[in-house]
Chain A
Amino acid sequence: MINHFVPKNLKEALTILNKHDCYIMNGGTDLMVQKHVSTGLLPKFDKDVLYINNLKELDYIKKDEEGIHIGASTRYVEIENSPLIPNIYKRVIKEIASPNIRNMATISGNIANASPAGDTLVPLVLNDAEVVLTSANGERKMKVDEFVYGVRKIHREKNELISEIVLKPQELSYFYRKVGSRKAESITKVSFLGGVKIENKVIKDFRVSFGSVAIKTVRNREIENKYIGRNINELDINEVINDYAPLVTPITDQRSNKEYRHKVAMNLLKKFVMDIKEGGINE
């Protein structure tokens, strides 16, 4: 017997989670596809379901010294329209699915779904964003990069809920490209985000993340640190490519093939580095 829990508030939700192992239903745009059976039939779940989309307590965007806090049930459309949200996130979100879906879907859901093609993971990982995990026993924070550790694998304990996302604004210039199957409503074949901060031709910050090319979003701090402090004139494109090439390990599936994904990922990285050398990253 599957239970469907519709809590009135966060506290009640957490009490339920303390006793029941649940799917957490938010905007529904992933879970309702995954659990769909057939027209006219209820979605089929193999464990209890907790519905959190209507929790007003989780619908907010606010800013403080720690960062920008986005409640778990805040929808993409609200994020797109909020003056508090850094442009890079808006840029990424605008290319996700369709306007209809963005009226329904949430960023917390995108994280929890932990698809290698999850588009928000790319800027979240690059910009050190955190998830706040809340349970009846308290809360803890974790970098999104650590929280998602594989294909549909996240470090959520059964009694926990992603209650909030904390964005950490960075002083970076960005280069972003999503490459999908078509221009709208497309599932990502490969995506690239580079962020850089340059002062007097010296690289002060350098970050790269790739989506859809490995079991999770690719980011490597060791490589990044190697380039921090370098003069842009000493940035060697081939060196950067060689550093990242082994980390990009895409698969062939019904949407694309591994050769294409790898090649495009490297083309975009090359473009990013060339633009840095030419002083041209200004998104």
Chain B
Amino acid sequence: MIHQYKDSVKKVDNEEKMSGMAIFTGDIKMDDAYFAIPVRSSISYGKLLKINVPNLPKDYSFISAKDIPGENVCNIIASDWPVFADKEVHYKGETIGIIVGPNKEKCLELAALVECEHKEFEPVFEMVNSYVHKEFKKGNPDKVFANAKKTFSESFSTGYQEQIYLEPQAMLMYLDGEKITIKASMQCPFYIKKAVVRVLNCSEDKVRVIQPAVGGAFGGKEHYPSLMAAQLAIAIVKIKKPLKMIFDRKEDITFTTKRHPSKTEITAYLDEKDNILGVKIHVGIDGGAYVGCSMVVLSRALIACNNTYTFENVHVIGDAYCTNKVPSAAFRGFGSPQSIFAMELFINHLADFLHVKPLDLRNKYLVKTGDITPTNGIYRDPIILKELMDKAMEMSDYKRKLAEYSKPGSNRGIGMSTFLHGCGFTGSGESTIINAQLKIKKDKNDIVTFYTSQVDFGQGNRTTLKRIVVDTLGIPEDHVIYDAPDTDITLSTGPTAASRTIIIVGGLAAKAARHLKEIWKDGEEQEIVEPYVGPDFIKWDEDTMQGDAYPGYAWGVNVVEVSFDPLTYEVNIEGCWSTYDVGHAIDERILMGQADGGLAQALGWAYLEKEEAENGMFKQKTLSDYVIPTMVDLPKMETALIDNPFPYGAFGAKGAGELTFAGGAPAFAIALEQAIKHKVHKIPATPEYIMEILENED
């Protein structure tokens, strides 16, 4: 269908991207840059006794932990991931050092000659050793559960997922006088800056990060570039040559961070009338060798684990497990899709167990405005989930299809999921950790310039944030300048993550623009630095996981229809219909791009994208083996937005980036269950897994 978007403006970066003129990191010409090639651990766990470096020709160096002037810590959220493995190695592929030099081929050759002497330890690949444990309760679960008449328990698991941003990780670093200047494919310029400052123990003004065009990120460029930057920074202070580290796809898939695999166990406690008294949920995620950001991913997974349902008594337990594998980190959804997948399937299975219709059971426990969240906060905004469901059912002809596909001999299925996403950083993180500050200024010609540290890696925020300021000020578009972040000019408005860009930074931009308008004096230079102030109702205790976890929630419904081939166990997606409440969509076309894109990634995670670790190493290392959906694997997608303006966001907008990922996998799995007439407990639901289900249960 060809769309006429009434409320959309031309994307500011359309022309440069379509014409090939946009300059991505790898496109930046710097002929004198040295190449940096990682030397990686060949073992999963052990003591690093000695590094044997071959004789290096002139102009070639080996940079390792011994060269670090500051702390050997990659500044992620936890401080446990070393920049270079030093006394021990904790996963296969961990960086021991880098070879830098002018000729790439020679660097590769030399890197292959570096040998390590180890004392090997027994590695752990399974989720058994917890390094982050969290637990919280709502109501009085201990007492209530003890009096339950029956229980129903199930366990669900989800696999790794690689981001497959089309542009692999890339970084260029050079010295501008004394200043280390970094251009990279990234999400968070200030994360990179902090990581360099920490590893070099230098002052903040010695590091500058500038964002070129970024070819996709999805969480995969939230933390990993900090590691690359820290490694290159150690080299650059030593050899004083420009450096570049650009990963080939294989290196990117094999060694960069992925979505956490998960295992979720849920037990429902029921009374004699089959009312759900409460649920006990354990979410386990595989964090890999270092914590990195896993505790925050775990938090999100736990907070979201009741999904769109309200249960009176809840006991939530979570563990992030240490395994000797590549650390897992951010990917769209940040833990919540894993626990939402489990809850959506669980509620459906529980309905079967209780011999009631899944839709009836869901409706009975569906979240309503004023309900208490699992962390004892309050769902404050008007909740329009029922409307979203009705609309999605109407668009997809859900009820007719559901009945028809239940008939024996049908190889089709239709599934519906409901889901939510908490926007912004968890809890009071926006006020206590990030403390965004947005600068807006006006010159004598009344040209307004504003700055954020938000990266546009395709989401369209360069367009939308600019539009928020233009519309607030009510001045022509070409009177507002808004460029990509440069840490020497921009104040930090925080990372481009957590669906916070529009709801938080957009809100901040609108507020700054409003304040500028209030004091506006034609022909005068004016400047405002607007600090973020969170809504005062947000109270959050990170230690006890109690309070309001997010300033606002966005909601959605996905319906997925599938067909199944009993000869080959292959599944085809026949249709997708979605409805969303993202508050008010500022730019409908951009929003639709988020809707389709998030769902496509979720469907890939649900049935195609298999990443297995074998002996601590990923088995699928290339784009031909780690397969993401092509144009023919996905059907036509239809999406409707229902307006429900959010009082605290710019122009009523909430976050939308991660929401659209949350429901694809459960809707797919529920549809698949109907098509194959068997229960699913794991994704990716590959044909091999489906065969196993059918063979085992027949």
Contact = CB atoms under 8 A, between A and B. Distances in A.
A259 interface: yes
Contact of A182 (B568, B633, B691): B633
B687 A267 contact: no
Contacts of A184: 630-633
Nearest to B619: A254
B108 A37 contact: yes
B625 A260 contact: no
B105 interface: yes
Interface stretch (A38-46, A72-80, A195-203, A223-231): A38-46
A182 B104 contact: no
A282 interface: no
A244 to B, nearest CB: 16
Interface in B558-605: 566-570, 572
Nearest to B695: A263
Nearest to A189: B687
Contacts of B248: 38-39
Nearest to B246: A39
B627 interface: yes
Nearest to B103: A41
A264 interface: yes
A39 to B, nearest CB: 6
B620 A183 contact: no
Interface in B516-538: none
Contact of A256 (B104, B688, B695): B688
Contacts of A41: 104-105, 108
A177 B567 contact: yes
Given A39-B246, A257-B688, A268 B631 contact: no
A57 interface: no
Contacts of A264: 567-569, 687, 691
B630 A185 contact: yes
Contacts of A98: 630
B624 interface: yes
Interface string A257-278: 1011001100110010000000
A267 B104 contact: no
B242 to A, nearest CB: 16
A248 interface: no
A187 B691 CA distance: 19
Interface string A17-56: 0000000000000000000011111000000000000000
Contact size range, B = 20 to 34
A221 interface: no
B24 to A, nearest CB: 13
A98 B566 CA distance: 26
Nearest to A40: B104
Contact of A263 (B26, B632, B691): B691
A38 B26 CA distance: 14
B564 to A, nearest CB: 13
A254 B620 contact: yes
A267 B570 CA distance: 13
A259 B694 CA distance: 13
B537 to A, nearest CB: 47
A37 to B, nearest CB: 7
Which of B104, B608, B688 is packed against the most chain A CB atoms within 10 Å?
B688
Contact of B632 (A37, A179, A183, A268): A183
Interface in B6-32: 26
Given A183-B632, A260-B688, A254 B608 contact: no
A177 B569 CA distance: 13
A105 to B, nearest CB: 14
A218 B612 CA distance: 29
Contact of A259 (B26, B631, B691): B691
B624 A182 contact: no
Which of A38, A39, A177 is packed against the most chain B CB atoms within 10 Å?
A38
A179 B568 contact: yes
A9 interface: no
Nearest to B573: A183
Interface string A118-155: 00000000000000000000000000000000000000
Given A39-B246, A41-B105, A181 B627 contact: yes
Listed from nearest, the 9 A-B pairs whose CB atoms lie closest are A260-B688, A254-B619, A184-B630, A183-B632, A181-B627, A267-B567, A184-B632, A179-B568, A254-B625
Given A184-B632, A264-B569, A267-B568, 9 more contacts: A182-B630, A183-B633, A187-B624, A254-B612, A254-B621, A254-B625, A257-B688, A259-B691, A260-B688
Interface of B: 26, 104-105, 108, 246, 248, 566-570, 572, 608, 612, 619-621, 624-625, 627, 629-633, 687-688, 691, 695
20 contacts: A37-B105, A38-B108, A39-B248, A41-B105, A179-B687, A181-B627, A182-B629, A182-B630, A183-B572, A184-B630, A184-B631, A185-B624, A185-B627, A186-B627, A187-B625, A254-B620, A260-B569, A260-B688, A263-B695, A268-B568
